[in-house]
Structure 1
Amino acid sequence: MTAAPASVRVDAWLWAVRVFKTRSAATAACRAGHVKIDGTSVKAAQPVRPGQRVTVRRPGHEQVLEVVQLLTKRVGAPVAAAAYVDHSPPPPPALHAAVPRRDRGAGRPTKKDRREMDRLRGL
């Protein structure tokens, strides 16, 4: 039997716990500076150990994960979820406005109608 590793590359761990779909996507995120360990930007080969906090910045939100278990291979979702503790802040409430609909048979909007719609949308 092989012993559990003392550390794993951060890109491999993020891929193994299903934060990214591919390992190359995890590597690209590290290269772009979107991945931090304990508040410090890291390269893809940076080792991660249990107890460290990995922060992943995504469009619209930020994930803060505490490493509990090291994984080198991609595993099933329940096992992957047990490998970290999620300390992410709750996402901001999304405001969904109803999409305005034109009456059936009203035809295409005029230039004036389009300008009013743009003004309502804030464009």
Structure 2
Amino acid sequence: MPSFIRKRITSFRYAFQGIATLFRETPNAAIHLVMAIFAILLGLFFPISATEWLAVIIVIGLVFALEAVNTSIETLSDFVTKERNESIKKVKDLAAAGVLMATIAALAVGILIFLPKIIELL
């Protein structure tokens, strides 16, 4: 097997290890996973369009991606120093804000797509 392909396989293995670490060690990622599964189940229960599925998939991916970046920043920051440092606090707060903004956007997408369908069902 050529070296290029071996390196790509190895890089995917590392990425999947990162996903496992994210869900094993980050409580918020587990909460996001439950909500993502709930959104997918709602999408299967209610007939949603391909465009609506795209929106749901994109915001789910965005939240998980930003949670992974946030967790990596927090892990690296904690490795650098355990002492209180205003610059590191600012970086960690900004990374957490990114996750929060993505989560709010995901919630808005969910409300826009599913609330009318839920109201119609009632």
Aligning the two structures, in what range does the TM-score lie when normalised by the shorter sequence? under 0.3
Report the structure number with the largest CA radius of gyration: 1
Name the TM-score, length of structure 1 as normaliser.
0.23
Answer 1 or 2: which has greater strand percent. Answer: 1
**Which has the higher relative contact order, 1 or 2, with Cα contacts under 8 A spaced 6 or more apart?**
2
